[in-house]
Amino acid sequence: MFMRIDINVPIEPEEGKILDDRRIRVHAQYIRKIIEEYNPALILGSHQSRPGQAEFTTLEKHAELLAKYSGLNVEFVHDVIGPAALEKIRSLKPGEVLLLDNLRLVSEEILEASPERQALTIFAKRIASVVEFYVNDAFATAHRSQPSIVGLPLLLPSAIGPVFEKEIGALSKVLSENEPPRVYVLGGKKVIELLRVIETLVKNKAVDRILTGGLLAHLFLLAKGVDIGKENIKVLEENGILPYVSRARYLLMRGAPIETPIDFVVKNERGVENRYVGNIDGVIMDIGVQTAKIYEELVKESKVVVLRGPLGVIEEEEFKQGTLRVLEASYQSKGFVLIAGGHLASMLSSDWESSNRVHVSLGGNATLLFMSGEELPAIKAMELSAKMFFGW
């Protein structure tokens, strides 16, 4: 049985240290249950970042942590669909677990296409030739249309896994309580994906206010014609975001309810300063004191608050404050709080996990798109598989 999981985790690039292993811990406990209840020969596949990015690496350390948290012997192979991987898969016995290397080492796994097209890839055909069943337990990748997500279900009898099922159940509960005001707090570096989320939210009228931070805030300020300083424009350029200024401007012109910071914490040759928009001198590192105060008040009044991505450079302790203040205000609100995966989960205290008003999702942007009403490719592929193999 091949099971697609998502153990794509934050990594410190220089030393390769895993900064937050929550996804690995969650998957590990369910992998153990699957082995205990069904005793399959279990092949696991996941990705870690993407080629060209600092966090792109092999899954050797991930395998070690899966073994540690599951209490199972998790074998690892430095291969994906080559001879070494295929030989390991064929020799795997019931009750044994094998983790393949980073699936995105295979170029086909980076490209997106229809399920029918992905079922024709070498990746999908080779995996399908050596396994009998497919399980998708990677809800965090459900918005992707890649071979391991949408191709394999068309070649094998398929099912969703326990993590996937749990996410759908929790998010459906959030949607049933989805009364205004609904506030989304969006930050981090995944700007292009967040633009897609915002477009869907606005189209489906699924949000009342969007509070921005991180590079997303830079982009929308630039789209408004605000001077954010040469250093910060350069950051957008280096991250390939500048071409999306017109797309952001179009959203603003359509009346998207987007709020941008009025001040920032910046780092310059004089040190660290709080500077207002229009007078930014230095590299933006966090939302400013007044912006944090405004955002706090807005989330406190929300019935539903959804948070995705940090509002500052949280890798450095002194630039965590804006994000921490907004997180704390969200927790103090009377509404339902959804943490949509990513780095934010690593900043939460144990109190969050025990609250019945909070759901900490593993899903990231897949969570946001599901909440916004977009059809997710992974779910569509599973429906096609059910018709093909079970006649549903």
Answer whether 128's CB lies under 8 Å from 155's CB. yes
Does this chain's domain 2-160+375-390 share its CATH topology with 168-361?
Answer: yes
Torsion of the alpha carbons at 123, 124, 127 and 132, rounded to the nearest 10:
180
Query: Where residue 50 falls among pLDDT bands split at 50, 70, 90?
Result: very high
- pLDDT at residue 248 greater than cutoff 90: yes
CA nearest 276: which of 284, 7, 98?
284
Q: What is the mean pLDDT of residues 16-29?
A: 91
Spell out the domain ranges in the chain: 2-160+375-390, 168-361
**Which residues face 209 on adjacent strands?**
183
| 178-211 pLDDT per residue, tens | 688 999 999 988 898 899 889 988 998 889 999 9
The domain over range 2-160+375-390 is classified in CATH as 3.20.20.220? no
- Burial class (CB within 10 angstroms; exposed 0-12, middle 13-18, buried 19+) of 254: exposed
Q: Per the structure block, which two tokens stand in for 210?
A: 């969007």
Q: What are phi and psi of 211, to 5 degrees?
A: -100, 125
The domain over range 168-361 is classified in CATH as 3.40.50.1260? yes
Q: Is pLDDT larger for residue 358 or for residue 162? A: 162
Query: Where residue 177 falls among pLDDT bands split at 50, 70, 90?
Result: low
DSSP string, 50-87: -TTSTT---SHHHHHHHHHHH-S-EEE-S-SSSHHHHH
| 100-142 pLDDT per residue, tens | 999 999 999 999 999 999 999 999 999 999 999 999 999 999 9
**What is residue 347's predicted lDDT score, i.e. its pLDDT?**
81
**Which residues face 45 on adjacent strands?**
4
DSSP assignment letter at 342? G
DSSP assignment letter at 301? T
DSSP string, 260-295: --SEEEEEETTEEEEEETTS--SEEEEE-HHHHHHH
